[in-house]
Amino acid sequence: MTATTAALSAQGVAIWLDDLSRARLATGDLADLVAQQDVVGVTTNPAIFRSAISGSGAGDYTADIRRLKAEGADAERIVRVLTTDDVRQACDLLHPVWEATDGQDGRVSIEVDPRLAHDTDATTRQARELWTEVDRENLLIKIPGTQAGLPAIRATIAAGISVNVTLLFAVDRYRQVLDAYHAGLEDRLAAGEPIDRIHSVASFFVSRVDTAVDPLLAEHHDAAAAELAGTAAIANARLAYAAFLDTADSDRWQALEEAGANPQRPLWASTGVKNPAYPPTLYVDELVAPGTVNTMPAATLQAVVDGQAVTADTITPNLDHAREVIAQLSELGIDLEAVTTDLEAAGVTAFEEAWTALLSAVDGAA
């Protein structure tokens, strides 16, 4: 454990790695990150799997692809086998963390086919299939937080399956996700089933908000707008945390907690900076608060290790400032609701394209 990662853990921030590949598993790299840099979870997405299986690490999968093709498996089945195998191995590696944290961390995520993002029933079915196929209690099933995803989240939680809700950009949608999580727990309780082993995180995407808003600010060509560059994403995420705190104080949550429920923690995703002018740890340092998760790409994690330790909550004392930033954006005519709606649609499309490209690469592999 390094001083910087230890400081984050002391503030109640769980560090997860936003990357997974067979090479990380086979070389012991992931095990080293867990042992030395306080990594206590792993997230994946279609783009990560595309990079792992059809990018520089493609050779690690060649033998399995050939074997599965010889057995008659199509590209869809091959990708399912490869991804679930990697996730299962990562779950086994992180199982001691899962045990030590009573199921809160030591989690590994796998996403339903992104092409199902607008199909509630198909998403729900595949969530159950993946849960059964991986067969590890420290798994998280990633379900997009689209409108169609909300009832799928509720049904999956009610079935006793832990969920990572992904592709969240808007605070209002995050509130709907919290409601879906609570409703799923209530459904399970009503069926006489336990809820104490169910865990969930809500992946709130950060950097892409600045990527979308900063060009809109630049169009104003004035100092006031320029000063807001690089502030929208952090303000938006901080207000999501405020929604988390509001929920924690509600009578509804208190009743669920008394029945054994675990809170759905906010997870900061897309925390690698896209603008090289910004500090590489911007979306880590400015989003420190108890009960949160920050999933980082490897480069961001290394920047955190090499940087300055954050030893205080940087969200809660700055909630009023976050509200001011959002108000100033509105005064400039920047419609954050429209921005986040577009980002959700673009995120779904990007993951669909990554998945389709992965299938094509596997189909064309020797």
Q: pLDDT digit string (tens) for 78-97? A: 999 999 999 999 999 999 99
**Predicted confidence (pLDDT) per residue in 186-244, tens digit:** 999 999 999 999 999 999 999 999 999 999 999 999 999 999 999 999 999 999 999 99
142 noted as active-site residue: yes
Q: What is the DSSP letter of 341?
A: H
Cβ 114 vs Cβ 46: under 8 Å: yes
Q: How confident is the model at residue 1 (pLDDT cuts 50, 70, 90)?
A: confident
Cβ 141 vs Cβ 196: under 8 Å: no
Average pLDDT over residues 327-348: 97
Average pLDDT over residues 63-74: 95
CATH of the domain at 111: 3.20.20.70
pTM value is 0.97
Q: Is the pLDDT confidence value at 366 over 80?
A: no
Q: Is the pLDDT confidence value at 151 over 90?
A: yes
Q: Is the pLDDT confidence value at 308 over 90?
A: yes
Number of domains in the chain: 1
Distance separating alpha carbons of residues 286 and 211, to the nearest angstrom = 17
Indicate which residue of 22, 80, 142, 208 is catalytic.
142
Which residues fall within 8 angstroms of residue 52, CB to CB, at 6 or more apart? 20, 21, 22, 23, 60, 61, 86
Cβ 319 vs Cβ 238: under 8 Å: yes
Q: Rounded mean pLDDT of the chain?
A: 97
> What's the domain range around 323?
3-364
